[in-house]
Chains A and B, each alone.
Chain A
């Protein structure tokens, strides 16, 4: 039996009709990957989905989808749940309202296999789109001379739609969001924690994602609640070995 190269994990909740676009974009990327000789497993972790979302999932038949019921009430835990069940050598995440560029999976696998280090991969650019407003969010490559890792302590560099070897996600599970307790930004915290463990975040050249900005989203809820990034060890990782003399102002 041919081994699975990639598991595409779609995190679904109450996206309803919007989920169809995501499923179709994944389908396109899978088709492109399979044309390139890759074997892709598609999994949807349906976390406390509403009926409409469930119906959309049930009716979708463009490609085979492994449906996993979740009762997490949390995106971080849903990702962790998907990781445990994934059979692919690599995992690629997508949220149920976003879209991948068609070449994403193929190019990401190619980049990851060429690279000797254990890396986490991101698209080069994201187009954020809403009904009347769009903008680009450019991802940074840690190997770039312009990359300033300490900025990650105060601002997030990468979206949650990452790609890496399954082992990376197994060894570095996401931390559950606790918005009501003032803690969140599971993807930002994860980006920090993985760097603290010595992993490298890179961009896959010439790839893009389309990220939908909705009236309600976890990020927006987090911003409104003024939550903090969940605990991570990046600061101590960056400064533990530095024998700096404190600069008095």
Chain B
């Protein structure tokens, strides 16, 4: 049952109780005894009110921890039981009642409300949810009453094996079910009722219900007799067959594709959820708010526009759903492996990805920092290239503390180069670097295609004259983003106020020893963003990069930018469109540029306009979409 917010707050603490019931419900809780003594006197009027609706015998029978603790049943209900979601009688479900009449409880407890007002108003007392006919035929008999069903359910539900409604196939299976066989075959079920175990768990686990019956197979006894007969007829023609113990055939195991193991079941569920032909699949590692994830989603959007949303899918291979989901269109097909195989390790995720692609056979598959898909693509015999055209997106290297390049571009790229027909790279600088580092032959270089992150085009925002000289810095608190430069720069600019919007990383702001003119703002929240309009300039420091999204966002918001000349940044930021700092470790260069931005407003205005112009030329959606289209059509890609 899904609880409303009010229902949820009322039922606080229930989950812990439920867990304890699952294990050993009979352990008395001594603390209850002590508390009850205190509560009894105070609650006498309440006891009187509730007593007519409280079934003590039922309560003690069902909740045997209460019985064994020797506690007064009604007191237990008042003090703990109701809060824990226990039922005072088979007919009254306090969870259902609290949710159903949440708006009228007015601070009263469910049974109290029912006794005082609800009964007179004809309120319902339980959600029911029974398919009585099904329940009777599966667990009881056709002559049982609805009340018998409820009673049976309440008495046995603690085993978590009962269903109130279900598959008609169970009705047929019950006729075949052999309790003795089941118990003998699966002694680990202990004292549980064999049939209830089968309905609640055994069928899902593919357990056998009788020696001579296999679900969906037919008459196993007849089949065994048939095989015996035929094997007998073949006597003398094959010695190995002759050596078979024909009399033991009845005990042999059976295999059938009716029941799937967890990975196959997950795959079938995923395929059913996709449920349509797929032209393009974008595989991304996670669905967070990083630049790569945004790039993947932009790619997904462009492909959806080209092929239609029904025929495009975003596959999240390594992580969970995240805040990046908000960037997706409402009708986007998003498949998250963790939804199907939450505990899968990296090998299982790679296998799931590989098999899914081989079955769905999208015309094209794009890898955007998907660990699972890279793992598949680097194996020469993965055969994945036989099922789809593979493309991979790259941005920049990462670097070790010693300065050695690492990451997909450094390690997986050369291994998978043959298999992947196009690489989409968000900056030309990195294309040139890869060509140089791997000596890529001239006739292969066209497979490396620049595809710059698109930016929504809008009018250049007007900016009021700023008098407070405020600058903001935004980035992950990690070695890559050079956060240690902030304090050094701020010390050189005492008349400028610096505001830090950081994304948490492995460096703490406290460890930076920042001067007084640096203000730490709350951690960057993509839902809130940065109030660009409050600032004179954006300071971006970085040791390596592609073209960072935050820089494009700042440029799009029309704010002057001072940034490090690293990676692909200089393709958008130069001394015409902003202030590019060539020596990324020199705080004086940054400080000089910031002084110029803050105190020469005319030049700042000119450069931000030039930046906006460049943005529209290089990072337009039209350009992004046209390149994606060309890649999809595999035309000769012009640089």
Contacts and interface: CB of A to CB of B under 8 A. Distances in A.
Contacts of A157: 257
B267 interface: yes
Given A146-B216, A236-B361, A124 B233 contact: no
Nearest to A135: B253
> What are the nearest 5 A-B pairs in CB distance?
A182-B383, A146-B216, A21-B238, A244-B275, A101-B230
Interface string A199-214: 0000000111010100
Contact of A125 (B226, B257, B333): B226
A246 B275 contact: yes
A125 B227 contact: yes
Interface stretch (B352-360, B389-397, B497-505): B352-360
Contacts of B383: 181-183, 227-228
Contacts of B256: 137-138, 140
Contacts of B231: 127, 210
Given A153-B271, A155-B260, A124 B226 contact: yes
A176 interface: no
Interface in A19-75: 20-21, 24-25, 28
A247 interface: yes
A223 interface: no
Contact of B276 (A99, A182, A239): A239
Given A210-B234, A229-B358, A246-B331, A239 B257 contact: no
A167 interface: no
Given A124-B223, A212-B240, A239 B274 contact: yes
Interface of A: 20-21, 24-25, 28, 99, 101-103, 124-125, 127, 129, 131, 134-138, 140, 144, 146-148, 150-157, 180-183, 206-208, 210, 212, 225-229, 231, 234-236, 239-240, 242, 244, 246-249
Interface of A is mostly: mixed
Contact of A134 (B217, B244, B359): B244
B355 A138 contact: no
Contacts of A153: 267-268, 271, 359
Given A138-B217, A153-B268, A101 B241 contact: no
Given A210-B231, A249-B336, 12 more contacts: A21-B240, A101-B226, A102-B234, A125-B226, A127-B227, A153-B359, A155-B257, A182-B383, A208-B223, A210-B230, A235-B360, A246-B274
B626 interface: no
A224 B204 CA distance: 29
A192 to B, nearest CB: 9
Nearest to A158: B257
B307 to A, nearest CB: 14
A127 to B, nearest CB: 5
B601 to A, nearest CB: 48
B259 to A, nearest CB: 9
B34 interface: no
Given A28-B233, A138-B218, A231-B387, A246 B257 contact: no
Given A131-B240, A182-B383, A138 B223 contact: yes
B227 A25 contact: no
B525 to A, nearest CB: 24
A103 B254 contact: no
A22 to B, nearest CB: 8
Highest count of chain A CB atoms <10 Å: which of B239, B244, B381: B381
Contact of A25 (B238, B267, B359): B238
Contact of A154 (B230, B239, B267, B275): B267
Given A153-B268, A210-B231, A138 B333 contact: no
Interface string B325-356: 00000010110100100000000000000110
B276 A129 contact: no
A26 B136 CA distance: 52
Given A151-B260, A183-B383, A244-B275, A208 B227 contact: yes
22 contacts: A101-B226, A124-B226, A127-B231, A135-B255, A137-B255, A140-B256, A144-B216, A146-B215, A148-B258, A151-B260, A151-B264, A207-B226, A210-B230, A228-B354, A228-B387, A231-B386, A239-B271, A239-B274, A239-B275, A239-B276, A240-B276, A242-B275
Highest count of chain B CB atoms <10 Å: which of A148, A181, A235: A235
Highest count of chain A CB atoms <10 Å: which of B256, B334, B354: B256
B184 interface: no
Interface string B397-438: 000000000000000000000000000000000000000000
Nearest to A150: B268
Contacts of A129: 240-241, 244
A152 B383 CA distance: 20
Contacts of A20: 237
Contacts of A244: 275-276
A136 B253 contact: yes
Highest count of chain B CB atoms <10 Å: which of A20, A207, A234, A236: A236
B272 interface: yes
